[in-house]
Amino acid sequence: DQQVKQNSPSLSVQEGRISILNCDYTNSMFDYFLWYKKYPAEGPTFLISISSIKDKNEDGRFTVFLNKSAKHLSLHIVPSQPGDSAVYFCAAENHGGATNKLIFGTGTLLAVQP
């Protein structure tokens, strides 16, 4: 049973509009969350992260929101650009664990239409 889920396999957005990608997790011990972007035939690349002591982290056009009570995080991209078209993965881990498994979600394919 996957501990990190992205329930939307795909999302299509118009250029210039906001893209909102969602991620849910089941393990309440997770305390650090990351978002990665992946283009075809390439490895995933880091985008943005958030610690559980925060509820928001912003980096340019990318903002991640964390709702611990709902075990939910979201990635907002504003404004969306065609170059943002990629698969987005969220990931989570428990820093307090003896070892640190970095668990990824199922991914959401974002298509930004010109």
Partner 1 sequence: DAGITQSPRHKVTETGTPVTLRCHQTENHRYMYWYRQDPGHGLRLIHYSYGVKDTDKGEVSDGYSVSRSKTEDFLLTLESATSSQTSVYFCASRDRTMNTEAFFGQGTRLTVV
Asked if residue 46 binds partner 1 (CB under 8 A), the reply is: yes
Contacting residue, 45, 67, 81, 113, with partner 1 by CB under 8 A: 45
In order, the DSSP letters of 11-75 are EEEETTS-EEEEEEE--TT--EEEEEEE-TTS--EEEEEEETT-SEEEETTEEEEEETTTTEEEE
* 101 close to 1: Cβ distance less than 8 angstroms: no
32: contact with partner 1 by CB under 8 A: yes
Q: Which of 7, 9, 55, 81 binds partner 1 (CB under 8 A)?
A: 9
Q: How far apart are CA 68 and CA 27, in angstroms?
A: 11
Residue 107 engages partner 1 in binding (rule: CB under 8 A): yes
Q: Is 60 in the site for partner 1 (CB under 8 A)?
A: no
Query: Residue numbers of the site for partner 1 (CB under 8 A)?
Result: 2, 6, 9, 32, 34, 36, 41-46, 49, 51, 89, 91, 93, 95, 99-107
